[in-house]
Amino acid sequence: MSAIDVSSLGIIALVPDRWSEMWQSRHHLLSRVAEQCHVAWMNPAHHWRSILHPRATVSANGPETPQRARLRICDAPLWLPRFYSQPTLNDMTLALRLNSARQSLIRAGAKYIVLYVWRPEFASALRLVKHHLSCYHIDDEYSFAASKVPMSATELRLLQQVGQVFIHSDTMLRAKGGINPHTSHIPNGVDYARYSVMVPEPDDLRAIPHPRIGYSGWLKPQINWPLLQALADRHSDWSFVFVGDQQRQPGVADHVARLQRLRNVHFLGGRPTAALHGYVQHFDVSLMPYEMNEYTHFIYPVKVHEYLAAGSPVVASPLPNLREFENVLAFAGSADEWSCAIGMALKTGDNQRARQARQIVASRHDWSALASRVVSILQTRLQPGVVQ
């Protein structure tokens, strides 16, 4: 039985964020999927109050929008907003948007429509638009974020109803992988060519003295801030560099303010996705200093393969989903262990064999290869006789 032509695939991607924001795993993955088949990325609709303040509406297409012939960014017009407290109205506007995206894919040559859902909140879409296959991609944890709350009834139904489930981490796979028989593990990845080929250091990084102990990514509550404070206090001769925006969550601003008082701590702010590799490549040691709790038990940081592709040593909290990379990562728990691990990494950072080993692991997680795996699975699920 021959597989369907990938160019006849059309994917409607229901996602929680826009292309103009810092890329998450879905941005990376679907931009590569769009190299092979048609993708309609549906930017979130604005709240209905935006109708009263149209100037607050921003364009979907920013400098981070990839140039892909088969990728279309679908903005929601102001007359099709979201209605959070009125599900019937919300479904009406969502249905109009979904069917518009579907028609655009068909006009582009798509014959098989895949509804690709990235959040349980979009579950109603399964009954709002015609499609040949539905998918649910889990790339973060919601039900265990704060405490051991069972998964919602909405997510359970979604897992049971979709034709294909993709899960990014081993711990999540153990928690939710037994519900749908068509469940596949698709880990997070990296733009390997970008991170592994050295570029000149950015101007704002050049002035910061070595050794540079760096972190790239969102500044969030799940970071072990007391640990970082202790390390920065203890090692005044190390430069601690943070590249990333602050999440607007309780406590983050206070932690950042306290660390900013130290002369050896440098917060450079957020940078475009296309520029991040230039910073990571010029860290002497890269950090993943997360709290160990119920939330981080399920995370699989995108940055792990970005760090590894850049080649420098990496020190991380012993997250369950990083254990498989223990031959190329150093794990640490207490402040003493972190001091020792970073100190050792600084002494051995120029070891070319270790650098090569890190990059080999990262090369196996290139986003393009992961996208090809996703497309292949969709082709298999859309063969005659197994179409949902």
Q: Are the CB atoms for 196 and 224 separated by under 8 Å?
A: no
| CA max distance for the chain | 65
In whole angstroms, what is the distance from residue 191 CA to residue 25 CA?
11
pLDDT of the residue at 1: 52
Which CATH fold topology does 6-189+366-381 show? Rossmann fold (3.40.50)
**What six digits make up the tokens of 282?**
């010029």
pLDDT of the residue at 160: 96
pLDDT of the residue at 66: 59
Start and end residues for every CATH 3.40.50.2000 domain found in the chain: 6-189+366-381, 192-363
**What six digits make up the tokens of 325?**
């990379």
Contact residues for 372 (Cβ-Cβ < 8 A; gap 6+): 32, 36
Number of H helices, E strands in the chain: 13, 13
* DSSP letter for each residue of 118-145: -SGGGGGGGGTS--SEEEEEE-S-STTS
Q: Are the CB atoms for 220 and 293 separated by under 8 Å?
A: no
Burial label for 19, CB within 10 Å (0-12, 13-18, 19+), is: buried
Which CATH fold topology does 192-363 show? Rossmann fold (3.40.50)
**What six digits make up the tokens of 197?**
């080929």
pTM of the model: 0.90
**What six digits make up the tokens of 150?**
């069972």
pLDDT digit of tens for each residue in the chain (388 aa)? 567 899 999 999 999 888 766 788 999 999 999 999 999 999 987 765 555 555 444 444 444 555 567 999 988 887 777 777 677 888 898 999 999 999 999 999 999 999 999 999 999 999 999 999 999 999 876 555 544 546 889 999 999 999 999 999 999 999 999 999 999 999 999 999 999 999 999 999 999 999 999 999 999 999 999 999 999 999 999 999 999 998 777 789 999 999 999 999 999 999 999 999 999 999 999 999 999 998 899 999 999 999 999 999 999 999 999 999 999 999 999 999 999 999 999 998 889 999 999 999 999 999 999 999 999 999 999 976 544 4
Q: Are the CB atoms for 130 and 113 separated by under 8 Å?
A: yes
Sheet holding 183-185, edge to edge: 71-74, 38-42, 9-14, 112-117, 133-138, 164-167, 183-185
Burial label for 143, CB within 10 Å (0-12, 13-18, 19+), is: middle
pLDDT of the residue at 57: 44
